Chains A and B, each alone.
Chain A
């Protein structure tokens, strides 16, 4: 009996001790929060090197894009401690900075000699700075992203299609350089029989629930002359948001939706676009560049069958593209800020950034993207570089969420539901946005 008691005591002590040791070993495990998508898998792979180097374990909390903002903004607003590090969307930066969700990184950058001059300027403004264009940094540019286009190179290169296209439109079937050309190509392919299958012109963003249609429509509107505000008078939107050029841009987006998208594509965003392209339904596909590595590897549409092109020019020759991507920040409610900062320092390292790109992440470090070998490192690298040079982003104000909801509604009502005119939609948007800024005391 005595020996049994001793054995039980010994076993329980061993179990207790092992649990305690394991707790100590994992006490500094960091949790990184991000969206559930391909680059997140690449980051998991990359972060194994961090654990090897520092002994700090990494846990990941990935949420699908459709719930990403809801889930993590709730977490930040409730001062939750789930995330030690967060790769938050570019538009969150204003709210996260002003509400104290992110740790300001200026002192840390100075101490560790991390210079923002080493990163692509557009990503520094887009992902790190608040207020914009001031040296106040709340994140390290982590994942460069931009809206661009993929196309079916194999279809474009078919002689019979090239001939027919040339006869019909008078120019060679090739990746479009203007939006008018893009629409002509989309019309050409719409409901065409290719290899016994009906195909469609283009997949574009039309999603209503989160940010889809705004990202898509803005991607076109910028190049048509849309501006968020009077450059000389902040928050003055009348005549800029609803300028004649903006109206033309929105009319174009609706025309493209009406003429050339697959049936039922009234709520499409990143996932639906990828599905449409991968299943061979569309000739062209608007999407963020993060989807490109996956498509390039796809057995059915990847390899030699796929090509990439930069967002085309508008009628006046202006050319812009919608910025995507995110910076990585330390959450101010985390108890492990020191370790989280170690991760940021490690992530900013040149070699780590080079590996990040090779694994499928989009580095924002100049030394990676300006490497002479970069454009030829992947078939989409040049299109990514060219696109990143022309980016514009949505409002990054603390009120970005209601601003986005207003544009989602106005654009979807007009483009998909066909209610009212483009002018009505943009006039309504000016009204909504003015009300939001007035509520914020900014007007």
Chain B
């Protein structure tokens, strides 16, 4: 059927065009087919990147199109790297990335390990656990804001019930000490299932015969876990850490919805600072430089990490 259709198309192709097509090599044809995609990628990914690099050396402001654009050299980069507020935002980001990854990895791996026991109803519980991940961050942010509400929020009442502290004193989003943890809790609640899924894939990829051999050697469960389960699932865990690390480094939506960077600047992660500089203060050149710095930082760290991951996989 397909051959017949191809024959019909070939016969219907006008002779001059057919001649031209016959003259194209396989490689040329391949390029012809992928060129629209490449052009699209160049237009929406590569060009903006180079344009941002160019802008980062200028004083350009998107809200002042009539102003003369001056070349500032490295001034934007120097100002960013010498700005104490930027370093505070980077520290906040690092704190957030560290704790979310740690909690999500520990809880996610534990859940995966439990689910892998294949107890009765494990499929049902897997689905339930995955629900938070399927929700939109906007929805999650908004309903957690209500849950954290000191006067009517369920979270405040649960904490109050457990600790005896009056619910109006449980001010998760207003308290400088608690606000970063409020965001960490929500992110962990939402994305632990994702880590669990990757870890579960890792655990399921371990061949059963290895455990059988260990049983024959009378290895204890603890020994099996440390010598088989963990090392063999490690590349998957590391992959989950990589994905979550990159995602959380550029975390914006949840922070914006829950605290907007506050109270004060205590939860102002780098992406919030970047957005404020770019789209509220309209310092386009300056924010481009900041975006490039962030890009280099994430790219560099991810590269080092991927090399480490490859080493682990080769072991």
Cβ-closest chain B residue relative to A428: B85
- In the complex, which range does the number of interface residues on chain A fall in? 35 or more
Count CB-based A-B contacts (< 8 Å).
Answer: 96
How far, in whole Å, are A417 and B177 apart by their CA atoms in the complex? 9
**B244-266 interface code vs A (CB 8 A; 1 in, 0 out):** 00000000000010011111111
How far, in whole Å, are A398 and B281 apart by their CA atoms in the complex? 11
**B266-304 interface code vs A (CB 8 A; 1 in, 0 out):** 100000000010011111000000000000000000000
Taking the closest CB of chain B, its distance from the CB of A127, in whole angstroms, is: 20
- Residue B11 is within 8 A (CB to CB) of chain A in the complex: no
Taking the closest CB of chain B, its distance from the CB of A201, in whole angstroms, is: 14
- Point out the residues of chain B lying under 8 angstroms from A73, CB to CB: 63, 282
Verify B63–A266 contact, CB threshold 8 A: no
- Residue A285 is within 8 A (CB to CB) of chain B in the complex: no
Which of B62, B149, B265 counts the most chain A CB atoms within 10 A?
B265
Name which of A52-60, A293-301, A378-386, A401-409 contacts chain B.
A401-409
Beyond A264-B150, A412-B263, list 20 extra A-B contacts (CB 8 Å). A70-B279, A77-B65, A95-B63, A99-B66, A209-B256, A263-B168, A263-B171, A264-B151, A264-B174, A266-B174, A266-B262, A267-B173, A401-B280, A401-B281, A409-B85, A409-B264, A416-B264, A417-B263, A418-B176, A418-B264
Verify B264–A412 contact, CB threshold 8 A: yes
Given contact pairs A100-B66, A267-B173, A417 touches B149 in the complex (Cβ within 8 A): no
- Residue B71 is within 8 A (CB to CB) of chain A in the complex: no
**A406-443 interface code vs B (CB 8 A; 1 in, 0 out):** 00010011101111000000000000000000010000
- Point out the residues of chain B lying under 8 angstroms from A414, CB to CB: 264
- Residue A245 is within 8 A (CB to CB) of chain B in the complex: no
Cβ-closest chain A residue relative to B148: A264
- Residue A262 is within 8 A (CB to CB) of chain B in the complex: yes
How far, in whole Å, are A267 and B174 apart by their CA atoms in the complex? 8
Verify A417–B262 contact, CB threshold 8 A: yes
Taking the closest CB of chain A, its distance from the CB of B57, in whole angstroms, is: 15
- Point out the residues of chain A lying under 8 angstroms from B281, CB to CB: 401-402, 405
Taking the closest CB of chain B, its distance from the CB of A371, in whole angstroms, is: 40
**A73-111 interface code vs B (CB 8 A; 1 in, 0 out):** 110110100000000000000010011100000000000
Taking the closest CB of chain A, its distance from the CB of B152, in whole angstroms, is: 10
- Point out the residues of chain B lying under 8 angstroms from A267, CB to CB: 173-174, 259-260, 262-263
How far, in whole Å, are A413 and B263 apart by their CA atoms in the complex? 7
- In the complex, which range does the number of interface residues on chain B fall in? 20 to 34
- Residue B311 is within 8 A (CB to CB) of chain A in the complex: no
- Point out the residues of chain B lying under 8 angstroms from A77, CB to CB: 62-63, 65, 282
- Point out the residues of chain B lying under 8 angstroms from A419, CB to CB: 176, 264-265
How far, in whole Å, are A417 and B276 apart by their CA atoms in the complex? 19
Cβ-closest chain B residue relative to A439: B59
- Residue A265 is within 8 A (CB to CB) of chain B in the complex: yes
26 residue pairs from A and B, CB less than 8 Å apart:
A70-B279, A73-B63, A73-B282, A77-B62, A77-B282, A99-B65, A99-B66, A100-B66, A207-B260, A263-B174, A264-B150, A267-B262, A267-B263, A281-B151, A398-B64, A401-B281, A401-B282, A402-B282, A412-B263, A412-B264, A414-B264, A416-B174, A416-B263, A417-B264, A418-B176, A439-B59
- Residue A208 is within 8 A (CB to CB) of chain B in the complex: yes
Binding site for A on B (CB under 8 A): 59, 62-66, 85, 149-151, 168-169, 171, 173-174, 176, 256, 259-266, 276, 279-283
**A257-289 interface code vs B (CB 8 A; 1 in, 0 out):** 000001111110000000000000100000000
Which of B149, B171, B281 counts the most chain A CB atoms within 10 A?
B281
Given contact pairs A266-B173, A405-B280, A99 touches B263 in the complex (Cβ within 8 A): no
Cβ-closest chain A residue relative to B79: A435
- Point out the residues of chain B lying under 8 angstroms from A265, CB to CB: 174
Verify B63–A417 contact, CB threshold 8 A: no
For chain A, residues 292 to 333, give those with C-beta under 8 angstroms from any C-beta of chain B.
none
- Point out the residues of chain B lying under 8 angstroms from A99, CB to CB: 63-66
How far, in whole Å, are A98 and B62 apart by their CA atoms in the complex? 14
- Point out the residues of chain A lying under 8 angstroms from B150, CB to CB: 263-264
Cβ-closest chain B residue relative to A435: B79
- Point out the residues of chain A lying under 8 angstroms from B262, CB to CB: 208, 266-267, 412, 416-417
Contact residue among B65, B171, B256 (Cβ-Cβ distance under 8 Å from A264): B171
- Point out the residues of chain A lying under 8 angstroms from B59, CB to CB: 439
Taking the closest CB of chain A, its distance from the CB of B160, in whole angstroms, is: 12
How far, in whole Å, are A70 and B282 apart by their CA atoms in the complex? 10
